[in-house]
Amino acid sequence: MFIINFNFIKPIEEVNRFTEAHRNYILTQYKAEKFVLGGPKSPRNGGVIIANCDSEEEVHKILSKDPLIQKEIAEYSLIEFKPLLSVVGLGHYIK
């Protein structure tokens, strides 16, 4: 699994122009069960997503189609981790 840490690199007005397209795109990844949990950071200078992907390459491929990345409005970094514990209902993500 991966933590995706988005940081906006353009003014928030530019981010707002593409927020709906970004959310529509990432919704497809939730439906495919590639993304598990996510949302904006506070203060709103980016966002965080927990991704259920098998490789860093898979995450990069998915994010390369994200409008915020394509338009160079946001950049991201990844942290890979191996979940060992979870709340009830998320145990199936522990491998």
- Going from N- to C-terminal start, the domains of the chain cover 2-93
What's the token pair of residue 10? 């353009």
**Chain segment 31-45, per-residue pLDDT in tens:** 999 999 999 999 999
pLDDT at 94: 80
Contacts 24+ apart (CB under 8 A), 52-56: 52/1, 52/93, 53/1, 53/2, 56/2, 56/80
Cross-strand bridge partners of residue 75: 7
**Whether this model's pTM surpasses 0.85:** yes
- What stretches in the chain show pLDDT beneath 70? none
pLDDT at 34: 97
CATH 3.20.20.370 fits 2-93, yes or no: no
